[in-house]
Amino acid sequence: MFEKIKNETLRGHIQKIVDSCPQYYKEIPSSMTGKYHPQDETGEGGTLRHIRRCLVFAEEASRMYDLDDFGCDVLCSACILHDIYKVGLEKPEFLKTDPMHPVYIFDKIEEYICANELDEEIKKYLYYIQFACLFHEGRWSCDKVGEILFTLKPSNRAAYYGTLMHIVDYFASRRSVAECFKEGF
């Protein structure tokens, strides 16, 4: 999945961020209820399937909106990171989506930026990736996201990437989309 990120330096940083996060995301479902997500995402490994589907939609959205490699890399990186803390900072005994998970990854990226000497281009990528992850739930975001947005006042471009990430995540997670691609539909 990391190979979707064209900028090799960014790819390395995204891999480091992922490696520093809990690895439970590889095992858990993308949906605990199964209400909207495709059936094959509701079991073990569902989040990985969801990430792969998001990456497909990110590439398609990049073509649709004529994003350059920078923009495509922002979206692909956000796809990989957006649900990495889906059930919290640590895996709980009983799985349920933690409404703060967009904030946790936003903070994790900020922590990474502060702990490493990064060139301005990588900082710029990570800034946009932070907001793409933060916005990925759109109107269903927790109140804390609104507080962060009010305090930090993201640029229009950061908000744009966030909106695209919400669209990508939304359509990649719809059971109806998966169903319509099944044979015989």
The candidate with the shortest Cα–Cα distance to 163, out of 154, 173, 152, 174, is 154
First vs last C-alpha separation in the chain: 29
* Confidence (pLDDT) at 152: 75
Two structure tokens written together for 150: 């009010």
User: Does position 58 have pLDDT exceeding 70, yes or no?
Assistant: yes
CA distance 47 to 43: 9
The total number of structural domains in the chain stands at: 1
Confidence of residue 185 (pLDDT cuts 50, 70, 90): low
Is the CB of residue 37 less than 8 Å from the CB of residue 50?
Answer: yes
Residue 93, C-beta contacts closer than 8 angstroms, at least 6 positions apart: none
CB atoms inside a 10 Å sphere around CB 84: 21
**Has residue 46 been placed in a domain?**
yes
pLDDT band at 27 (very low <50, low <70, confident <90, very high): very high
pLDDT at 153: 77
* Percent over 70 (pLDDT), the chain: 98
- Report yes or no on 185 lying in a domain: no
pLDDT classification of 184: cutoffs 50, 70, 90: low
Rounded to the nearest integer, the mean pLDDT of the chain is: 91
Query: Which of 113, 85, 122 lies closest to 101 in space, CA to CA?
Result: 85
Domain that holds residue 43: 2-180
Q: Are 1 and 80 in contact (CB under 8 A)?
A: yes
Higher-scoring residue by pLDDT: 102, 148: 102
In a domain, 19, yes or no: yes
Residue 35 pLDDT exceeds 90: no
Q: pLDDT band at 140, cuts 50/70/90?
A: confident
The CATH number given to whatever domain includes residue 46 is 1.10.3210
Identify the H or E element spanning 185.
none
pLDDT in tens, 64-78: 999 999 999 999 999
The arithmetic mean of pLDDT across residues 9-14, rounded, is 98
